[in-house]
Amino acid sequence: MSDDILTTIIGTSTGTTVVTVERGHVALFATAVQDDSPVYRDPRAAADAGLPGIPAPPTYPFVMGNFGVYPELQTDDAPSANPLGKVIGPLMANGGLILHGEQEFTYHRPVFAGDVLVGKGMVVDAYKKESKGKTMTFVVVDTEWSDQGSGEPVCTSRMNIIHRV
């Protein structure tokens, strides 16, 4: 992919996704990341910890686009397939590997079971680097999660995908 094409994908929307944060999914995710704290499973433990509800583990926003997505909640801008397909597809036409490079979360408030959140994703950067005779293309996507009811920001998730040829 040429540098000109890379600059044109900056600003590409990856769509809007509406999710319901569900208690069962939060507990399942906590188990998957080997966190056995009862605050992720029991509202009494969460209350004893001074929390208003069951919180999601810190890295939970990574899976929010896959858990709790119901068709009736979605907007017209909801992705109908993998939202990064139109960005990664042309990269993969040249072969190579796709790697998950980084993941970063900036919280404005905790995510709680019962939240209904709106995630708006966008490609915010794309660039190439050469390393050891290989070309690596970096695509950075931000997803801004906000509370559906109040519109208040909840979390920004930044993902860096690397294509290596």
CATH of the domain at 135: 3.10.129.10
Running DSSP on this structure, what letter comes out for residue 73? G
Residues sharing a CB contact under 8 Å with residue 88, sequence separation 6 or more, in sequence order = 82, 98, 139, 161, 163
Residue 2 is predicted with a pLDDT of 59
**Can you give the residue range of the structural domain that contains 22?**
3-164
- 83: helix, coil or strand? coil
Pairing type for strands 134-147 and 13-20 reads unpaired
Domain count, the chain: 1
Residue in this structure with the two tokens 């695509």, named with its chain if needed: 139
pLDDT averaged per 10 residues, the chain (length 165) = 72 91 96 97 97 97 86 78 73 84 95 96 93 89 96 97 88
Residue 8 is predicted with a pLDDT of 80
Residue 81 is predicted with a pLDDT of 67
Instruction: Transcribe 55-106 into DSSP letters.
Output: BPPTTGGGTTTTSSB-GGG--TT--SS-TTHHHHHHHHTT--EEEEEEEEEE
Residue 4 is predicted with a pLDDT of 64
Residue 76 is predicted with a pLDDT of 81
Residue 149 is predicted with a pLDDT of 96
